Amino acid sequence: MIDLSPLFGSPEANDGAGCLFRVFPKTGRERWMLDTSQRRPWHLKTWPRANMRANVIYNTAWTLGTLGVHLPCRLEQYHVASGSLYAKLQDEFEDLGIFLGTPGPNRKFVLYAGRGDESYFIKVPLSTVSAALVARETAALADLAKDPDLGSLVPQARQIACQLALDNIENDGARYKPLDLLELVRLHDLMFRRSETSRSISSLRAEWRSEVPEGDVVEHPKEIECILRTANDAANHALDAMPQDLDIPCYMAHGDFTRWNVLRAPDGTARIIDWELYGVKPKWFDVIHYVVSHDLLVSRAPASQVIKRLSEAGQAIAPKIQGVWWQQVALYFAYQCLYYGAVYERQADLHQQAMWQLQSWARILRELPASQAPRSSVGGQNS
């Protein structure tokens, strides 16, 4: 079991009391926890419903939860110290559920906390790396809240028990439904216009190297080492093929713009959560990520199909500058290979899906229509 002291305090504390939890799933890596005093499955509020399967499981579990019946789990007793974060939240909220986070240096706990008609998602960093990500998200939301065009599209942020707490935007009717391309482009253009800048290829590479998470590289089995090395080589090969002084239009992008981080309001506009990867990225980064993340992680589409979908998006968004579009696509995949490759190098417990995704990014990079990419300065690339 992972260290739960950031939630429950020291297990050796003399004060406090024992608390029985349901731990999900019943076997294998633990993902959620729910106090057995909680009748409904509040922990699943932290589960994004980005496809039909996820919705069916969620709705079934929620219906069963109203009857006090839960998905397969195991029961574990933990000591909750007085004054611990969880003890404070027990005093303030009626409904609590815990997501234990994704393994790796970026890991953080996310707690759902509700009372009456209010509910929040509370982020608890577990390392200096995840603390920096939470700090970045806090700063991003404070900045975006001042923007007349984007302020209403992001959750309000506050502090609860000294932790970042985000308003649950589903309370305003936002749901996990896909956005159409026009809304994606509208959002991109809003963000691009407010933060338009440029970087040379060499500057981008230096900035990406600076984003490498802290921590020692872990020794992995040869098969995983090969996947990591192949992805790194594919990214650097693509970047080496471009003039290093090439001027690339960039902007402050969301960084993880996916169907599970971008909900749709009743009027069809977006509501955007999880801003912890907010930062300078090449133009169209978020739009490309919205397409690619769903096709790879949800649909498990092969490389050829992902490239076809990107071609269709490029024809709709930038029909007159297809070379520039494919260049930006290549930069997107190069960044993903380099950033997540560095994350996975420092992560001992790697899920098979992580490796499959890294392989897919590298394969797509090799199969992109690189012959269309420009080889000289491309100032004035706006679509």
DSSP 180: P
Contacts of 101 (CB under 8 A, 6+ apart): 107, 108, 109, 110, 126
pTM of the model: 0.91
pLDDT tens profile 265-291: 998 889 999 999 999 999 999 999 999
- Structural domains of the chain, with CATH: 5-172 (no CATH), 181-372 (3.90.1200)
Residue for token pair 């393994």: 103
CA nearest to 22, candidates 81, 66, 77, 60? 77
pLDDT tens profile 8-54: 999 888 899 999 999 999 998 899 999 999 999 999 999 988 888 88
> 378 near 324, Cβ under 8 Å?
yes
Q: What percent of the chain has pLDDT over 70?
A: 96
Q: Which two tokens stand for residue 41?
A: 């499955």
The CA dihedral of 240, 241, 247, 251, to the nearest 10 degrees, is -70
CA nearest to 229, candidates 345, 366, 329? 345
pLDDT tens profile 209-260: 998 888 889 999 999 999 999 999 999 999 999 999 999 999 999 999 999 9
- Whether residue 163 is predicted with pLDDT greater than 80 in this model: the reply is yes
Average pLDDT over residues 185-196: 96
**HSE, side-chain direction, 13 A CA sphere, residue 221:** 6
Could you tell me the pLDDT band of residue 376, with boundaries at 50, 70 and 90? Answer: very low
Q: Which two tokens stand for residue 42?
A: 């509040």
Q: What percent of the chain has pLDDT over 90?
A: 83
- Whether residue 381 is predicted with pLDDT greater than 60 in this model: the reply is no
- CA 11 centroid distance within chain: 31
